Homo-oligomer: A and B are copies of this chain.
Amino acid sequence: MNRQEQPQRVHFLLSKLEQIVGPEGLVSAPEDKRQYDTDWLKKWQGDSCVVVRPATTLQVSQVMRLCYENQTPVVTQGGNTGMSGGATPDGSGAQVLLSLSRMNKIREVDALNNSMCVEGGVILAQVQKAAEQVQRYFPLSLGSEGSCTIGGNLATNAGGIAVLRYGNMRDMALGLEVVLPDGRIWNGLRALRKDNTGYDLRDLFIGSEGTLGVITAAVLKLFPRLTTQATAWVGASSMSALLHMLSVLYEQCGQRLVAFEMMSAEALDLVLQHVPASNSPLQGQHAFHALIELADTHTDSLTEMLETCLEQGVEKGYIDDAILCMSLSQRQELWKIREGISEAQVRAGHCVKHDIALPISALDEFVVQASAAVSALSPGLRLINFGHMGDGNLHFNVLLPGGLGSAEIKTWTQTLNKAVHGLVHQYQGSISAEHGVGQLRRDELRIYKNPVELELMMLLKQTLDQNQIMNPGKLL
Contact = CB atoms under 8 A, between A and B. Distances in A.
Interface of A: 110-115, 135, 156-157, 159, 163-164, 167-168, 170-171, 180, 184-188, 190-201, 203-204, 206-208, 212, 223-226, 243, 247, 250-255, 296-298, 300, 305, 357-362, 388, 391-393, 428-437, 441, 445, 448-450, 452-453, 456-457, 459-461, 463-464, 475-476
Contact of A457 (B164, B193, B199, B253): B199
B452 A185 contact: yes
A250 B463 CA distance: 42
A185 B452 CA distance: 7
A112 B360 contact: yes
A198 B429 contact: no
B435 A196 contact: yes
Given A192-B429, A359-B110, A450-B187, A197 B441 contact: yes
Given A185-B452, A251-B297, A254-B296, 4 more contacts: A187-B450, A193-B360, A199-B457, A200-B206
A187 B251 CA distance: 30
A361 B156 CA distance: 30
Contacts of A191: 359, 428
A357 B195 contact: yes
Nearest to A187: B450
B180 A452 contact: yes
B112 A198 contact: no
Contacts of A111: 247
Contacts of A186: 450, 452-453, 456
A358 to B, nearest CB: 7
Contacts of A167: 171
A250 B114 contact: yes
28 contacts: A113-B360, A114-B360, A115-B359, A159-B196, A168-B194, A170-B200, A186-B453, A192-B357, A192-B392, A192-B429, A192-B430, A193-B360, A194-B393, A195-B357, A195-B432, A196-B432, A196-B435, A197-B430, A197-B431, A197-B441, A203-B203, A204-B204, A223-B254, A253-B297, A253-B298, A254-B296, A255-B297, A459-B464
A135 B248 CA distance: 11
B305 A196 contact: no
Given A190-B430, A254-B224, A357-B192, A453 B198 contact: yes
B297 A449 contact: no
A395 B208 CA distance: 35
Contacts of A452: 180, 184-187
Contact of A190 (B203, B226, B388, B428): B428
A437 B196 contact: yes
A194 B357 contact: yes
Contacts of A459: 463-464
Contacts of A223: 254
A436 B436 CA distance: 32
A134 to B, nearest CB: 11
Contacts of A453: 186, 188, 198, 201
Nearest to A301: B300
**Which of A197, A432, A456 has the most B CB atoms < 10 Å from its CB?**
A197
Contacts of A359: 110, 113, 115, 191-192
Contacts of A428: 190-191
Contacts of A463: 459-460, 463
A248 to B, nearest CB: 11
A212 B453 CA distance: 14
A170 B171 CA distance: 10
A123 to B, nearest CB: 21
B156 A196 contact: yes
B208 A224 contact: no
Contacts of A450: 186-188
A170 B111 CA distance: 24
**Which of A159, A163, A186 has the most B CB atoms < 10 Å from its CB?**
A186
Contacts of A253: 224, 297-298
A201 B252 contact: no
A461 B460 CA distance: 11
Nearest to A436: B196
A252 B197 contact: no
Rank and list the top 10 A-B pairs by shortest CB-CB distance, nearest first: A254-B297, A203-B203, A195-B430, A112-B361, A194-B433, A193-B391, A113-B361, A191-B359, A224-B254, A200-B203
A48 to B, nearest CB: 25
A113 B392 contact: yes
